[in-house]
Amino acid sequence: MTYAILDFGTNTFNLLIAQTGKHGFHILQRSKQPVKMGKGGIQQNRITGDAFERGLTAIETHMAVIRQYNVDEIRAYATSAIRNAMNGEEFTREVEKRYGFRVRVISGDREAELIYKGVRQTVALGDQNVMILDIGGGSNEFIICNRTGILWKHSFELGMARLLELFDLSEPITSDEVLALESYFRQKLRPLMEAVEKTKPVALIGASGSFDTFHTLILHRTGQDPDHSYGREIPMQEYKYLHRVLVRSTLDERKAMPGMEPVRVEMIVAATIFVSFVIRECHIRQLHHSEFALKEGVLSELAEI
């Protein structure tokens, strides 16, 4: 079977085309389109007219790619910005009317489960507990797990699009603004801290999104060649150096950084402050990166692996 998996996120609409078989799945095509579905309306739980049109334009672009393949089935999944929007159902109805496929609007818990199933394809889980983090535009998913399965999972409405609408951050960000963000994280992440106290994860695995950009920025800075795998360890000292660079940077400086994804330029500072806070407060000793997340989790279920 050949599947087209669409992930309608808050920042980007992602496409994965893959064949499933006896030995898992084989990726044929991966692409993404920036949409910023939450811009201007995420705090009011509304998709603005401009965002609505950006979403449909992104789907049209993805459909042009899908038509190049002999796809048996299209599976589409919508997350935070669409599931929380008062007019989210209007958007999914319009998609079905235009393109003939149903959009599955999934809960934060289901999103976390699929992320876990994607990540475990790329990073070998052992007996020690680890924490997976997927940073989105609307929500952030945390999963504490080991090789036997998920111990705890939670979806927090702390996505970067939400933070940028809540906090008017300077360029470069000020130390007071960093403290204000961290105070907000400390307040909102209490359930995570309680779970960490019980399970004591030793490593953080960053799934896709912002972590893809962190990895690419580090590759460009260090002059390393891509490793052609879908998961790897990120040396903590390399990440901490990048964090300091990003926190001191202006918007224009980030735009000029080799490896910076345009859709991340505005959000990457808040994202790195969030990740750095989690590493420090949860006493994380190792950092890993998985390019697989929700879409690949869907494929793992379809391929029954």
Retrieve residue 280's tokens: 């420090």
Q: Please give the pLDDT value at position 304.
A: 87
95 phi/psi in degrees, rounded to 5: -65, -45
User: Do 99 and 126 fall within a single domain?
Assistant: no
Residue 169: φ, ψ to 5°: -90, 140
DSSP string over 144-164:
EEETTEEEEEEEES--HHHHH
* Contact (CB, 8 A) for 291 and 230: yes
In a domain, 300, yes or no: no
Residues of the chain under the 50 pLDDT cut: none
Per the structure, how many domains does the chain have?
A: 2
- C-alpha distances (whole Å) from 253 to each of 7, 84, 246, 266 are 30, 34, 9, 11
Whether 303 is covered by a domain: the verdict is: no
Q: Given this model, what pLDDT does residue 23 score?
A: 85
Distance CA 296, CA 121 (A): 8
Domain ends where: 47, 79, 106? Answer: 106
Residue 196 lies in a domain: yes
Can you give the residue range of the structural domain that contains 88? Answer: 2-106
CATH number of 182's domain: 3.30.420.150
The pLDDT score that the predictor gives to residue 28 is: 98
- Give the domain CATH number at 88: 3.30.420.40
Is the domain of 173 the same as that of 240? yes
What DSSP state is assigned to residue 51? H
The pLDDT of residue 227 is 87
Q: Is residue 265 part of a domain?
A: yes
> What pLDDT score does 228 carry?
84
Helix 49-66, helix 88-99: angle, nearest 10: 30
In whole angstroms, how far apart are CA 180 and each of 135, 159, 184, 266? 19, 16, 6, 18
